[in-house]
Chains A and B, each alone.
Chain A
Amino acid sequence: MAFKHLINYKKFLSLSAMLLLLGTNLVMAQAASSNSTATDTGNTSAQTAGMWTSVGYYTLLFVVICIAVAIIGKIFKVYDLTLQMQGKKGVNWNNVMATCFIIFLGAGLIGVYYSFSVQGSMIIGDAVSVHGKTLDSMFWTTFGITFVVFLITQILLFGFVFKYKGSDKRKAYYYPHNNTIEKIWTVAPAIVLTVLVVFGFLTWRKITNTVDAKGEPASLNIDVTGHQFAWELRYPGADGKLGKKNYKLVNGTNKLGVSYDDKNSFDDLQADTLVIPVNKSVRLNILAQDVIHSVYMPNFRVQINAVPGLPTYFKFTPTATTAEMRNKLDQPDFNYHLYCNKICGGSHYNMQKLVLVVTEAEYQQWLSQQKPYLTDQLKKELKLAENPLYKQTVLQTRLASIN
């Protein structure tokens, strides 16, 4: 009886194979023709027809697969029943599943190895900032510990599953609890985690301390403002200080709302690229205008949200210039970037800023070429010529340069 079934299945299989081949040809032809029509005439009706052919084809393909699975299932069932009819034992699914698990463990380990070697080699390189190096070593320590735990527990899990597969001959070992073991595996992770927490906590406190300590050279302050969907930059002028901002002053000419009641504002510069000197502490003063954005520079291990109404900061020291990195990585087009990493609307995925790390000399040269934020038009609008604070500041700077 089973044999007869098989003949039918064979016929069926050959039929479906024919269908597959023909269908593939058809779809290929369709694709080719729709491509050619799309290029010259853009015949939409032909495209739609082509689309429905391929949709129909893939649906049919899926149905055929389902039928094939059903047939294989039936064959198994028939085989199983025949065995039982002959008085033999049927398929022992416990054994089959246990074997599947151990195969999965093996294949999984190979997969993990493959993933680590192929995709693992695509991950970001070493940190190029001072605090980032600490983070990297902490990351690798955590990785080492957790990866060992991962391997041991997964191997134990699938190992036990394989070894203790069900059998009629055996009874499970009644083992409701063992307080000593439980205490050990409560305390052991607790200790490991405590160590990680302490290191993490200390590093975190150090990184997030954005105030320049006494005796420390002053950081370079840069103002970074996010809005949909771009970053605006403002550098301090000769005084090294950024002027205050007030969102109520924002308009077409004063995009950031810089306040000119503050004399530090007059010499501030605007820039298109985030250029920073190497090996110098940089403090980003971050704010958003409309929605939350996030300043994310993975190479420097820098990330902090830009929040409207809540100024945030990040202080870091880059350790390699863009040129050095290009040489090191052997990628002539390598560049650091600043991305937005907090969902902020339709063009979130393309809210980026080029970051250049340069030597101190290059930086000074670049800085001297930057335009002042205070444009002539803005001066006119604010009627600065009559502003006593402005006049006084200009005078002071002029005196200082003469001296």
Chain B
Amino acid sequence: MSTLSVHDHGVAHHDHDHEHHHNESFWTKYIFSQDHKMIARQFLITGIVMAVIAMILSILFRIQLAYPEKSFPLMETLLGRFAPGGRLDTNFYLSLVTIHGTIMVFFVLTAGLSGTFSNLLIPYQLGARDMASPFMNMLSYWLFFVASVIMMASFFVEKGPAGPGWTIYPPLSALPKAMPGSGMGMTLWLISMTLFVASQLMGGINYVSTILNMRTKGMDLWKMPLTIWAFFLTAILGILAFPVLVAGVVLLIFDRSFGTSFYLSDIVIQGQVMPMEGGSPILFQHLFWFLGHPEVYIVIMPALGISSEVIATNSRKPIFGYHAMVYSLIGITVLSFIVWGHHMFVTGMNPFLGGVFMITTLIIAVPSAVKTFNYLATLWRGNIQFTPAMLFAIGLVSFFISGGITGIFLGNAALDINLHDTYFVVAHFHLVMGSAAIFGMLAGVYHWFPKMFGRMMDEKLGYLHFWLTFIGAYLVFFPMHFMGLDGVPRRYYSFTEIESLKQWVSVNTFITWAAIFAALAQVAFLFNFFYSIFFGKKAPQNPWNSTTLEWTTPVEHIHGNWPGEIPTVYRWPYDYSKPGHDEDFIPQTVSFSQTLSSNLPHDFEDHASHDNHEWVNTQKSNEEVK
């Protein structure tokens, strides 16, 4: 019922709007746009800019790790007081690490990834004219933009940006005396994150309401592409988890500025006894990780959704176990709320609680494993088309395996004792959520670039970009496992002070060069991306022979997406290479009555109405007779 009425509304809206949408001004079209396609592009380009910044930050601190004793005059020229004598300041090193993590996790892989593809694909793949609330959608982008600007502005305050790590554990982050990075920079960090969360909530509420209310006729939940399932569950995770971060952040602001002691107790700093009593630093960690752990799934689930779609399309095969894929996403969503304590095994949290979190953590490995196996089964006996998007999706699966497996070590409280906060952790999450999610995002960019900009990206440059990045990422992160197994702590400014760590300087040099190599490879992407926006080959309507709805819209963007009525959906999104059909894909808009030669009982298993039941039964009895 609701689907129908919204559908009608959409049509009316569109008709009404036809007279207006040609005389949009530059401001309403490109800056304060309320169109989901434009907002998606705004998110993407801001995300890419932030990613490049965060990548440059990482190269700066990698240089410090590779050449701890060497002075680089260029550093001083670029960074001034943050690199006196051409060597990074120890506190600024921590600031770089902090801002690199914050930008990558929140601004690139949350806003850049979910923001871009949820906005682009939810209306397109569900058959909606736009988001449920276009105005809120616009606000969501602009809050994100302001948050990004504030985060970057913290580089220009006297004591530099926030420095207590992206997890900003108090008391370090609460006491400006404890480090320069806990001063003004930290205040800006907190303001920026609060705005960021507001942006995410507006976006998330929009995604959920659009998915629940604005699907086109025939698009029931079990006919939604896995991308949409992933965005849907991601948005729910965000809506439930982000407010807890805000609560934690607001209490921290109180502790910093208004003399409360939620997180502080028994503190003596620089010989001075502080008056705070009764707070608990562990409380902040609970609040932080209650968001923090769902956050890593907020990062990876959209990437998994995108890769499901890309792998199915380019293997020319239905995704294996569509239902299992959805249920494992749901399983991950639910379980991700009860595993946060595995970040806190050795923080002084009650060890019995640690044991419980260990059990829930290892349970969450099961749906993740199922997803991996299903990807492999989808590739099996496929007819794989190696588009750049497909390469990145395959890369994602490889990273997801490599990084996921080390999670079994870290999720085990007993083994975590010696691995906690070492480079093993760094290697683990950079593979499983860093590289894998970035690869999902890049797969999405290559796949939907024709939809976003109406032009094609250069394929060969895409190949080059993939191989350099894929090899580079493994060269960077694989050796880090061994550093962790040697007990090398993360966030160390240099390894030269401790005898047993000195042996790793040579490995660090290697990693740094691999990182520089991989970073330079991104130039291939950036050039390809920005060049193709203006000068790329004009895209055909359905360049990848895909079944989903977005490819039924015209290449030229129009307000309301479809020129006439919104198409009706008849089938699930994965009818690739169906036996009995002449082409190797059947779009969702093709009804079963047009494809009598290829219909299967499987097509009617989900929503077996009375007629279908009969049809399925006759089919089955026919087969028995054979």
Let me know if A161 and B384 touch, CB within 8 A.
yes
Contacts of A247 in B (CB 8 A): 266-268, 273
Contacts of A350 in B (CB 8 A): 497-498
Q: Please, which residue of chain B has its CB at the minimum distance from the CB of A80? A: B460
Q: Please, which residue of chain B has its CB at the minimum distance from the CB of A58? A: B74
**B-facing residues in A260-306 (Cβ within 8 Å):** 289-292, 294, 296, 298-299, 301-305
Q: Report B216-253 CB contacts with A as 1/0, cut-off 8 Å.
A: 00000000000000000000000000000000000000
A290 touches which of B180, B267, B351, B397 (Cβ 8 Å): B267
Let me know if B405 and A150 touch, CB within 8 A.
yes
A347 within 8 A of B: yes
**B-facing residues in A134-182 (Cβ within 8 Å):** 134-135, 138-139, 142-143, 146, 149-150, 153-154, 156-158, 160-161, 164-167, 170-178, 181-182
B99 within 8 A of A: no
Contacts of A77 in B (CB 8 A): 460
Contact status of A310 and B348, CB under 8 A, knowing A124-B486, A290-B175: yes
Q: Please, which residue of chain B has its CB at the minimum distance from the CB of A203? A: B414
A230 within 8 A of B: no
B383 within 8 A of A: yes
Let me know if B369 and A185 touch, CB within 8 A.
yes
Let me know if B408 and A174 touch, CB within 8 A.
no
Let me know if B346 and A305 touch, CB within 8 A.
yes
Contact status of A308 and B91, CB under 8 A, knowing A204-B358, A289-B267: no
A79 within 8 A of B: no
Let me know if B384 and A166 touch, CB within 8 A.
yes
**A-facing residues in B431-464 (Cβ within 8 Å):** 459-461, 463-464
From A8-16, A21-29, A95-103, A212-220, give the one contacting chain B: A95-103
Contacts of B507 in A (CB 8 A): 119, 122
Question: Considering the chains assembled together, what is the distance between the CA atoms of A149 and B365 in angstroms?
Answer: 13
Contacts of B264 in A (CB 8 A): 308-309
Contacts of A142 in B (CB 8 A): 408-409, 412, 415
B381 touches which of A47, A157, A172 (Cβ 8 Å): A172
Let me know if B273 and A345 touch, CB within 8 A.
no
Question: Considering the chains assembled together, what is the distance between the CA atoms of A157 and B351 in angstroms?
Answer: 39
Instruction: Name the distance in Å between A134's Cβ and chain B's nearest Cβ.
Output: 8
Contact status of A193 and B402, CB under 8 A, knowing A123-B486, A160-B380, A175-B318: no
Question: Considering the chains assembled together, what is the distance between the CA atoms of A298 and B258 in angstroms?
Answer: 40
B602 within 8 A of A: yes
A120 within 8 A of B: yes
B541 within 8 A of A: no
A251 within 8 A of B: yes
Instruction: Name the distance in Å between A320's Cβ and chain B's nearest Cβ.
Output: 16
Contacts of B489 in A (CB 8 A): 296, 339-341, 349
Let me know if B273 and A153 touch, CB within 8 A.
no
Let me know if A308 and B413 touch, CB within 8 A.
no
Let me know if A337 and B500 touch, CB within 8 A.
yes
Most buried by A among B171, B346, B467, B482: B346
A51 within 8 A of B: yes
Question: Considering the chains assembled together, what is the distance between the CA atoms of A81 and B526 in angstroms?
Answer: 26
Let me know if A345 and B377 touch, CB within 8 A.
no
Residues of B in contact (CB 8 Å), total: 126
Contact status of A101 and B415, CB under 8 A, knowing A47-B73, A176-B602: no
Question: Considering the chains assembled together, what is the distance between the CA atoms of A298 and B483 in angstroms?
Answer: 12
Count class of interface residues, chain A: 35 or more
Contacts of A112 in B (CB 8 A): 478
Instruction: Name the distance in Å between B243's Cβ and chain A's nearest Cβ.
Output: 25
Let me know if A252 and B271 touch, CB within 8 A.
yes
B487 within 8 A of A: yes
Let me know if B90 and A346 touch, CB within 8 A.
yes
B322 within 8 A of A: yes
Contact status of A250 and B414, CB under 8 A, knowing A190-B366, A341-B421, A345-B172: no
Question: Considering the chains assembled together, what is the distance between the CA atoms of A348 and B413 in angstroms?
Answer: 25
Let me know if A291 and B398 touch, CB within 8 A.
no
Q: List 18 A-B contacts (CB under 8 A).
A: A66-B523, A97-B386, A119-B482, A123-B482, A124-B485, A138-B412, A161-B384, A172-B315, A176-B320, A182-B324, A250-B273, A252-B271, A307-B348, A335-B500, A345-B179, A346-B179, A349-B495, A349-B497
Pairs of residues from A and B, 4 with the lowest C-beta to C-beta distance, nearest first:
A298-B487, A309-B265, A208-B351, A97-B386
Q: State the A residues within 8 Å of B (CB).
A: 47-48, 51, 55, 62, 66, 69, 73, 76-77, 93-94, 97-98, 100-101, 104, 108, 111-112, 115, 119-120, 122-124, 132, 134-135, 138-139, 142-143, 146, 149-150, 153-154, 156-158, 160-161, 164-167, 170-178, 181-182, 185-186, 189-190, 193-194, 196-197, 200-201, 203-205, 207-208, 227-228, 247-248, 250-252, 257, 289-292, 294, 296, 298-299, 301-305, 307-310, 312, 333, 335, 337, 339-350, 352
